[in-house]
Structure 1
Amino acid sequence: MSLSRLTAVLLASIMPLSAAAQNAGDRVYTADQSSNTVSVIDPSTRKLLGLIRLGDSVPAALGPLYKGELLVHGLGFSPDGRTLAAVSIGSNSVTFIDTATNTVRGKVRLGRSPHEAFFTPNGRELWVAVRGENYISVVDPVRLTETRRIPVPDGPGMVLFNPRAPYAYVPSSFTPELSVIDTRTYRVIARVPQASPFSPNLAVSPQGDQVWFTLKDSGKVQVMQGLPPFKVTATLGSGPVTNHVALADTSAGNFAYVTVGGLNVVRVYTRDASPRLVATIPTGALPHGAWAAPDGRRVYIGLEAADQVQIIDTANNTVIGQVPTGQLPQALVYVPGAVRSGEGTANLTSLDSTRRTLTVTLTSRGTARATVSINPLGLVDLVQIVATGLSPDTAYVLRLSLPGGQTEDLAALTTTAQGGVTAQTIGPVKQILNAPQGAGQLSVVPKAGGAPVLVQTK
Structure 2
Amino acid sequence: MKQVLIAALLASIAVPAAAQQVPNAQPDMPVSSRDRFYTSDQFSNTVSVIDPSTNTIIGVIKLGDLTPANLSPLYKGQLLVHGMGFSPDRRTLAVVSIGSNSVTFIDTATNAVKHTAYVGRSPHEAFFRPDGREVWVSVRGEDYVQVLDGRTYQPTTRIAVPNGPGMTIFSPDGKYGYVCSSFSPETVVIDTASKKIVGRVKQESPFCPDIAATPDGKQVWLTLKDVGKVMVFDAKPPFGVLKTIDTGAITNHVNIARTPRGQFAYVTVGTENVVKVFRTDTFAQVASVPVGALPHGLWPSGDGSRMYVGLENADAVAAIDTATNRVSATIPIGQGPQGVAYVPGAVPSGDGRANLVPLDKAGAKVQLALSGTGTSQVTLFDQGQVQILQAAVAGLPPKMPFTLALSANADGKGAVEPLAKFMTNPAGAAIVNAVGPIRQIVADTTPGQRRYLVIRAGEPDARGPVVQKQVVKD
TM-score by length of 1: 0.92
1:133 aligned partner: 142
Using the alignment, how far apart are the partners of 1:450 and 1:314 within structure 2? 46
Using the alignment, how far apart are the partners of 1:267 and 1:234 within structure 2? 16
Residue aligned with 1:411, SS: strand
* Per-residue deviation, residues 257-310 of structure 1 (Å, max 9, x unmatched): 0001121111111100x3011111112111000111121111011011111111
1:8 aligned partner: none
2:199 aligned partner: 190
| 1:23-62 alignment, distance < 5 Å | 23-62=32-71
What is the deviation of 1:398? 1.3
Using the alignment, how far apart are the partners of 2:130 and 2:362 within structure 1? 41
Return closer, same or farther for 1:243/1:350 CA change in 2, 3 Å cut-off: same
Tell me if structure 1 keeps the 8 A contact 2:129–2:170: yes
Aligned residues: 439
Tell me if structure 2 keeps the 8 A contact 1:285–1:359: no
Which of 173, 177, 187 is the aligned partner of 1:168?
Answer: 177
Question: Is 2:84 the counterpart of 1:75?
Answer: yes
Which of 326, 332, 339 is the aligned partner of 1:331?
Answer: 339
Using the alignment, how far apart are the partners of 2:238 and 2:301 within structure 1? 30
Residue aligned with 2:70, SS: helix
Question: Is 2:257 the counterpart of 1:248?
Answer: yes
1:107 aligned partner: 116
Return closer, same or farther for 1:314/1:240 CA change in 2, 3 Å cut-off: same
What percent of counterpart residues are identical? 51
What is the deviation of 1:434? 3.6
Using the alignment, how far apart are the partners of 1:171 and 1:208 within structure 2? 17
* Per-residue deviation, residues 117-139 of structure 1 (Å, max 9, x unmatched): 10011111111101011111110
1:306 aligned partner: 314
1:391 aligned partner: 397
Give the partner amino acid of 1:171.
C
Using the alignment, how far apart are the partners of 1:278 and 1:198 within structure 2? 26
Give the partner amino acid of 1:343.
D
Using the alignment, how far apart are the partners of 1:353 and 1:146 within structure 2? 36
1:226 aligned partner: 235
Residue aligned with 2:271, SS: coil
Question: Is 2:452 the counterpart of 1:441?
Answer: yes
Question: Is 2:353 the counterpart of 1:345?
Answer: yes
What is the deviation of 1:220? 0.4
How large is the Cα RMSD of the aligned pairs?
Answer: 2.0
Using the alignment, how far apart are the partners of 2:341 and 2:446 within structure 1? 40
Residue aligned with 1:108, SS: strand
Using the alignment, how far apart are the partners of 2:27 and 2:100 within structure 1? 41
Which of 423, 430, 435 is the aligned partner of 2:432?
Answer: 423
Using the alignment, how far apart are the partners of 2:348 and 2:362 within structure 1? 33
What is the deviation of 1:394? 2.1
Residue aligned with 2:441, SS: helix
Gaps of 5+ in 1: 1-16
1:284 aligned partner: 292
Question: Is 2:462 the counterpart of 1:455?
Answer: no
2:328 aligned partner: 320
Using the alignment, how far apart are the partners of 2:55 and 2:46 within structure 1? 19
Using the alignment, how far apart are the partners of 1:19 and 1:278 within structure 2? 23
| 1:144-223 alignment, distance < 5 Å | 144-164=153-173, 166-223=175-232
Tell me if structure 2 keeps the 8 A contact 1:35–1:326: yes
What is the deviation of 1:353? 4.1
What is the deviation of 1:408? 2.8
Tell me if structure 1 keeps the 8 A contact 2:131–2:174: no
What is the deviation of 1:66? 4.3
1:382 aligned partner: 388
Residue aligned with 2:167, SS: coil
2:21 aligned partner: none
Using the alignment, how far apart are the partners of 1:286 and 1:51 within structure 2? 21
Using the alignment, how far apart are the partners of 2:345 and 2:237 within structure 1? 33
* Per-residue deviation, residues 21-40 of structure 1 (Å, max 9, x unmatched): 43101000000111111111
Using the alignment, how far apart are the partners of 1:355 and 1:49 within structure 2? 13
Return closer, same or farther for 1:317/1:376 CA change in 2, 3 Å cut-off: same
Which 10-residue stretch deviates more, 416-425 or 113-122? 416-425
Using the alignment, how far apart are the partners of 2:302 and 2:50 within structure 1? 16
Gaps of 5+ in 2: 1-25
Give the partner amino acid of 1:133.
E
What is the deviation of 1:78? 0.4
Residue aligned with 1:453, SS: strand
Using the alignment, how far apart are the partners of 2:191 and 2:150 within structure 1? 20
Residue aligned with 1:431, SS: helix
Give the partner amino acid of 1:41.
I
What is the deviation of 1:58? 2.2
What is the deviation of 1:445? 1.7
2:14 aligned partner: none
Tell me if structure 2 keeps the 8 A contact 1:360–1:456: yes
What is the deviation of 1:323? 0.9
1:5 aligned partner: none
Tell me if structure 2 keeps the 8 A contact 1:164–1:207: no
Which of 398, 401, 407 is the aligned partner of 1:401?
Answer: 407
What is the deviation of 1:325? 1.2
Give the partner amino acid of 1:446.
A
What is the deviation of 1:395? 2.1
What is the deviation of 1:444? 1.2
